[in-house]
A and B are shown apart, each in its own frame.
Chain A
Amino acid sequence: MTALIELRDLRKDFSGVHVLKGISLSFRAGEIHGLLGENGAGKSTLIKILTGVYAPSSGEILMDGKPVTIHRPIDAHRAGLGAVYQDSELAGSFTVAENIVLGNEGGRLWINRKKIRRDAVDIMHQIGLDLDPDRRASTLTAAEMQMVTLATLFHRRYKMIILDEPTARLSAPETKMLFGLIARFREQGITIVYISHRLNEVKELCDRATILRDGMVSGTLERDEIDEDVVTQLMVNRSSAELDIGNAGMAREAVVLQLTGLATDRLRPLTLSVRAGEILGITGPLGAGMEQIERSLGGLGAYTGNITIDGLPHKLHSPSDARRAGIALIPEDRRKQALFPNLSLAENVSLPALGDLARLGLISNRSASSYAASVIERLGIYPDAPERPIRYFSGGNQQKAVIGKWLKRDARVYIFVEPTSGVDVGAIRQIYEIILGLAAAGAAVIVISTSVKELLALSETIAVIHHGAISAILPRENCTRDSLLAMTISAAVPAAVT
């Protein structure tokens, strides 16, 4: 196969910080090429250069053997290069159909709404996406937005599409749909660059995979060479055995969080308790009701029923009520809900703690920045640049910053939703260690996740939700990967487990 795109000694630095230190790589037409690497290895920057958001500091990009200049997104657009980012954005007030076709409506001046809708419905049909095309994009959930973005790319018939952690917010059935879509792309000879931390996916999909480390290519493997140990070695220079982590069981006697008859318009009356030191994992198909639990406990939604913390009843009408009750919610969509993109890392981290850091109502800069420094160290946030705006940090480090916000508050209940969505291997371990540490210190922890592996690593007890009610709740040691996966897909609990 011929090389569609070749990168020669591509370098990029941001005011003295060298992010890409000479990348030489080639992508063949019609192949699915995985791209792996730790935080700060340079994957995001590489994509942004390929899609024209950044211009390279030096080096060449060749398409079909001829050098091309890609300095603005429109150059990439015309060259046929596109990407779907972890935080893909849609125009909220436009409909799903309009978003799918945005920028590509055809015609010179006039917009044909019927044609837009037809084209969009067509595409959604082809990829099997079942959404109302007239729905306003602002009403979509994060997962739905991702699917719409993917549909957009299908419409544009690019030559090469870069997918950055596309399955991060997808459930199992949606992931299947995505793979089908990728297969269709490949049939049309489109090259896919597939960035993911989930090795099993990479192995299943990709013809080849390249691993980046510290801004350079660490190695390129053929499909059959892809192996967890080899990859981990190339990524972090440590063996994967050191990365195994699990919950030994730390639950104490006292019940910290008690939910009695908690119900919303989509949740049937739920009764649940979490003890001090216990990590309760909750999973289920999207829409089953986990979001409802998250919202009720976070003070973001109306509910009926009782919530008791350490024996005291609480009424949670707003996020500040939840905070005062001692609940810390670390949500899924960190960019929109948890971070201030233009504020620095230090500001983001110390913001919720300002009350505690103030003396006589005045905040000392020193105490705020030393607090931030301690958080950065404790959580291993990289790079150690507390003044840099948070949006320049990679997903994993942003996630750590979000967790860092809560460390001083000594919450009694922690709720994590998809804690390692879009986070790489090295950071995952650190985040798991943090979560386990919180439980060890005596808090009650709930982890809501669609990653079976994650739940098995972290939880002491696992609950599965279906159609707004708990379909199964059992200790972790009674679950295996397959049985848990089965329970998630169907509400039936396999006999062997009870």
Chain B
Amino acid sequence: MAGEASTVSAPVKTGAASTGLAMRLLRRWGTILVIVIVGLLFAKLSPYFASVSNFNNILFSMIVSALVSMGLTFVVAAGSFDLSVGVVVTTASIVTALLIPDIGVAGAIIGGIVTACVIGLINGLLVTYARLSGIVSTLGMMFVLDGINQFLTNGYQVPVDYSETAFMYIGQGRVGPIAFPVIILAVVFIIGHIVSTRSKIGHYIGAVGDNPMAAYYSGIVVYRWVIVAFVMSSLFAGIGGVILTSISSSAQPVGGEGYLLEAFAAVFLGATILGKGKPHLLGTLLGVFFLYMVSSGMNMVGFSFAARQLFNGLVLILAVGANALLNREEIHLKFI
């Protein structure tokens, strides 16, 4: 946050109410506060909501979406968009399921993840060396992958034999009360967090996304880090695909598209968390959690179909609105 100026004058603050401690706290924790309040609201409305088991359920539901959203965070932090994230899940899932009978579980998992990384690499190359816009090229990739998915499966699901218990453990195993894939999610998050906050990968991706010119002049190889960001995005989606295959005991030919919109919502909602103002992994994770918590709450309380949509929308606007209200300092010229 803005520190105190020393000998040189600080920029003028317009319209700031009081700059006391309370305001600063609210600015930092405002969005989280909204999340907590909504959670408490649901807990009050339904006795089944606030239980360990339901918490586990929410975490389980959000695994694939969380992985996809975290991957997308890297690309958005680098200043681009990746619209193919959802479909990559499906593709990785299909490749994994197809490979299991032929080369065994370990090979199949590696195959699925490598496929995802290759897709990410292609996306990255298109956006850098081929000079295409991120939105357009990943949109095109999305359609291409859709076609490939149909081609590989002919529209039918690809089953994984029930006897593949080792593979099934990935998505269906439990360690005590916690589902195994949730542990995978936690581990991936921790590694991702370390990479994005403590390594050059995260630091330079952030620099490139913030000011590509400044990064360029500093001698940072801008292209390299953009490509890395796209590979990260697809890699995370690929991991999600493998886990999804295990949970579903099969690879479904369609179904990944839903993750895309959720992921963007989570990334941009997450950017307002902890007052960072730019996308970061923890914020994204909390954003996904929020979306799924709301869904779970609505399920339990029994909202009608119409009310669900309404409530979902209102609650999202409230979450980002709270942040905007509290950060009214500078001239607002950021409309994305």
Interface of A toward B, CB cutoff 8 Å: 51, 73-74, 76-78, 85, 88-94, 98-99, 102-105, 107-111, 113, 130-132, 134-136, 139, 141, 143-144, 152, 264-266, 286-287, 291-292, 295, 300-302
* Cβ contacts A to B, 28 pairs, < 8 Å: A73-B216, A74-B221, A76-B219, A77-B218, A85-B217, A89-B214, A91-B206, A92-B211, A93-B277, A102-B207, A102-B214, A103-B218, A104-B219, A107-B200, A108-B200, A111-B197, A111-B198, A111-B202, A111-B203, A130-B6, A131-B6, A135-B3, A141-B9, A264-B12, A287-B9, A295-B12, A300-B12, A302-B15
Residue B309 at the chain A interface, CB threshold 8 Å: no
| Least Cβ–Cβ distance between B79 and chain A, in angstroms | 11
| Least Cβ–Cβ distance between B163 and chain A, in angstroms | 41
- Give the secondary structure class of B's interface: loop
In the complex, which residue of chain A has the Cβ closest to the Cβ of B10? A139
Q: Known contacts A74-B221, A103-B219: does B9 contact A111 (CB below 8 Å)?
A: no
Q: How far is the CA of A300 from the CA of B5 in the complex (A)?
A: 20
In the complex, which residue of chain A has the Cβ closest to the Cβ of B208? A91
Which residues does chain A contribute within 8 Å of B7, judged by CB atoms? Answer: 130
Instruction: Please name 10 further chain A to chain B contacts, defined as beta carbons within 8 Å, in addition to the given A94-B210, A132-B3, sorted by A numbering.
Output: A88-B217, A89-B214, A93-B206, A105-B200, A111-B199, A132-B6, A134-B3, A135-B2, A265-B13, A302-B15
The number of A-B residue pairs with CB atoms under 8 Å apart is: 106
Neighbour of A141 across the interface among B11, B202, B278, CB < 8 A: B11
Which residues does chain B contribute within 8 Å of A111, judged by CB atoms? Answer: 197-200, 202-203
Interchain CB contact under 8 A, B198 and A302: no
CB-CB contacts below 8 Å: B199-230 with A: 199-203, 206-207, 210-211, 213-221
Which residues does chain A contribute within 8 Å of B18, judged by CB atoms? Answer: none
Q: Known contacts A89-B211, A103-B220, A105-B203: does B8 contact A136 (CB below 8 Å)?
A: no
Which residues does chain B contribute within 8 Å of A105, judged by CB atoms? Answer: 200, 203
In the complex, which residue of chain B has the Cβ closest to the Cβ of A267? B12
Q: How far is the CA of A450 from the CA of B215 in the complex (A)?
A: 31
Q: How far is the CA of A442 from the CA of B49 in the complex (A)?
A: 74
Which residues does chain B contribute within 8 Å of A286, judged by CB atoms? Answer: 8-9
| Least Cβ–Cβ distance between A483 and chain B, in angstroms | 25
Which residues does chain A contribute within 8 Å of B10, judged by CB atoms? Answer: 139
Interchain CB contact under 8 A, B9 and A94: no
**Residue among A88, A89, A291 having the largest count of chain B Cβ atoms under 10 Å:** A89
Which residues does chain B contribute within 8 Å of A113, judged by CB atoms? Answer: 198
Neighbour of A292 across the interface among B12, B200, B202, B203, CB < 8 A: B12
Neighbour of B9 across the interface among A98, A108, A266, A300, CB < 8 A: A266
In the complex, which residue of chain B has the Cβ closest to the Cβ of A96? B3
| Least Cβ–Cβ distance between A458 and chain B, in angstroms | 24
B1-31 contact mask (Cβ, 8 Å, vs A): 1 or 0: 1111111111111110000000000000000
Interchain CB contact under 8 A, A92 and B215: no
Q: How far is the CA of A417 from the CA of B197 in the complex (A)?
A: 40
Q: How far is the CA of A261 from the CA of B47 in the complex (A)?
A: 62
| Least Cβ–Cβ distance between B182 and chain A, in angstroms | 28
Q: Known contacts A92-B210, A109-B199, A295-B12: does B4 contact A132 (CB below 8 Å)?
A: yes
Interchain CB contact under 8 A, B210 and A91: yes
| Least Cβ–Cβ distance between B137 and chain A, in angstroms | 21
